[in-house]
Amino acid sequence: MSTPVPVGDTSRKQKLSIILALAVPAMIENLLQTVVGFVDTLFVSKIGLNEVAAVGVSNAIIAVYIAVFMALGVATSSLIARTVGAGDIRKAKAIAQQSTWISAVCGIIFGIISFFFSEPLLQIMGADPNVLADGVIYFRIVAVPSVFLSLMTVFGSILRASGDTKTPMKIGIWINIIHIFLDYILIFGFARISGNGWEGWGIAGAAWATAIVRVIGAVALFMYIRKSKLSFTLIKPEPEQFLRPLLQLSAPAAAERLIMRFGQVLYFGLIVRIGTDVYSAHVLAGNIEIFSYMPGYGLAVAATTLVGQHLGANRRKDAFEYGLLTTGIAVVFMSFVGVLMFFFSSIAAGWFTTDPYIISLITTALRINAFAQPFLAIGLVIAGALQGAGDTKSPMYSTAIGMWLVRVLGVYMLCLQFDMGIAGVWLSIAFDLLLRAIFLSIRFHVYMRKDSIG
């Protein structure tokens, strides 16, 4: 059942409770996905380094697919949150149905591309001959059924936009547990358990584990939607058409994520030019830092839902206050994470390497990033609030400027011209996060004021 979001007169304390009730399940869901990603990599690493590289290159392409699916999820969340807030459940159902069909078509198209062009796609991403054969096996098994990944993404967005973040979390817990179990069995077989018998499928087993849980996740989420107030059928078409607004909102969101992905490729290339040690330390620091995003991601989901629903109910003042309160909670959470990061960065680095020099580089990176955590919090949550209000262009602009101008130019100047090493890389990232926080905060205030006037 969906958790109803009260749209009416509420005190500030009640608003804080509502925000946390939506955000905490989303935080847990994101945290679990990150942990499972680590476990997946750990299992594959036991097979060999070529297999790790094959999975990494394949996932770099799938990340582009996910960017498109998530963009459609953002558009779906924004439209459904506002229609639910306005009390128009029939229209919300129509949006849910049509976004499902769009996501299914997108998933099928990406699946066909993956089947016929898997080898050239992996070669474009830099897979060498030693990695290519394993990469094609893994990529085809995981990417051809992309329709289930796209449906899983959109179904989760539909439930969250209606105010139900607990169901995606619960399903996420179960499919992640199943994923770890299938991962181990399908990769290693029963030989490691019993000492004899089937030895598993290796990298193909890792791929099948991922594909199977995505099918389970998509089916389970749809079954819960069928029990919710947004229940819809896939066959009977709804009279109202929302193709244009869905595409208008999702196009900038997709562009934002693609800009981020391709920008990362460019500035990662610059970091490689600094030196292998710096690049390795940067990647490891990024693996540790990703945990700091969890509070921000969860609260961004809450901001999208609450701002969208209250604007739909024509309660603009409440929508604005929800945006600010959610941002404030994120700043508190992530500032605390920043304190932990500053003092325990060397210990966290020691989990990944015993090399004192690499540990010192990771520590430098994380301590710089610790001071940027409040800016990261503001950027993530305000972007979510703007998307809930229907503004997907401002986050796109901030990402384009931040990634391509601030980060790329910053790494080039600070690292390649002034030889600041990893400190230059992470100072560039911190400056990017600061500028994004300022830009998006201004845009949110202007957008909400314009909304209240118009």
241 exposed, middle or buried (CB, 10 Å; 0-12, 13-18, 19+)? exposed
Confidence of residue 6 (pLDDT cuts 50, 70, 90): low
Please tell me the distance from the alpha carbon of residue 63 to that of residue 71, in angstroms, as a whole number.
12
CA 321 distance to own-chain centroid: 25
- Three-state SS across 56-108? HHHHHHHHHHHHHHHHHHHHHHHHHHHHHHCCCHHHHHHHHHHHHHHHHHHHH
Q: For the segment 153-210, what is each residue's pLDDT rounded down to a tens digit?
A: 999 999 998 889 899 999 988 998 899 899 889 988 876 555 566 778 888 999 999 9
Reference 211, options 103, 128, 137; nearest CA is 137
The token pair that represents 161 in the structure block: 């936009």
In 10 A of CB 199, how many CB atoms? 13
pLDDT band at 322 (very low <50, low <70, confident <90, very high): very high
CB-CB contact of 359 with 353 (8 Å): yes
Residue 395 pLDDT: 92
Query: Helix axis angle, 129-143 relative to 203-227, nearest 10°?
Result: 20
Q: Which residues contact 70 (CB under 8 A, 6 or more apart)?
A: 153, 253, 257
Give me the amino acid identity at 379.
G
**Residue reference for tokens 């049509």:** 98
pTM summary value: 0.83
Res 2: pLDDT: 47
For residue 164 the two structure tokens come to 């139900």
Handedness of CA 426, 432, 435, 441 (dihedral sign): negative
Contact 266, 129 (CB under 8 A): no
Residues 6+ apart with CB under 8 A from 115: 140, 144
Q: Tell me: the pLDDT tens digits for 364-392?
A: 999 999 999 999 999 999 999 999 998 99
Closest CA to 25 of 139, 165, 148: 165
Find the DSSP H helices in 125-240.
129-143, 146-161, 166-188, 191-194, 203-227
* Segment 211-250, tens digit of pLDDT: 999 999 999 999 999 999 999 888 776 666 787 888 888 8
CA distance 168 to 152: 10
Binned at pLDDT 50, 70 and 90, residue 1 comes out as very low
Residue 42 corresponds to which tokens in the numbers above? 């750990």
Share of the chain above pLDDT 70, in %: 93
| Spatial distance between the Cα atoms of 62 and 328, rounded to a whole number of angstroms | 33
- Give the three-state DSSP class for 177: helix
Report the pLDDT value the prediction gives residue 13, as an integer from 0 to 100. 87
Residues whose CB falls within 8 Å of the CB of residue 108, separated by 6 or more in sequence, listed in order = 146, 147
Determine the pLDDT at residue 454.
39
Distance from C-alpha of 219 to C-alpha of 225, rounded to nearest angstrom: 10
Minimum mean pLDDT among 243-257, 380-394, 413-427: which range? Answer: 243-257
Q: Is the per-residue pLDDT at 451 higher than 60?
A: no
Query: pLDDT digit string (tens) for 47-102?
Result: 876 787 788 778 878 888 888 898 899 899 999 999 998 889 989 999 999 999 99
pLDDT of residue 104: 95
**Percentage helix, strand, coil, to 5, in the chain?**
85, 0, 15
Could you state, in order of their start, the residue ranges of all structural domains in the chain?
9-241, 251-454
Q: Which two tokens stand for residue 89?
A: 């459940």
pLDDT surpasses 50 at 453: no
pLDDT at 57: 78
Contact status, residue 298 vs residue 330, Cβ threshold 8 Å: no
Beta-carbon contacts of 74 under 8 Å, excluding residues fewer than 6 positions away, are: 157, 249, 250, 253, 304, 387, 392
The vertex-255 CA angle with 434 and 92, nearest 5°, equals 100
The 10s digit of each residue's pLDDT in 278-321 is 887 887 888 788 888 888 999 999 999 999 999 998 999 999 99
Q: Which residue has the tokens 């909102």?
A: 249
What's the mean pLDDT in 318-330? Answer: 95
What is the pLDDT, as a whole number, of residue 193? 56
Tokens (6 digits) for 202: 């290796």
Tally of CA atoms within 13 A in the half-sphere of 171 that contains its CB: 24
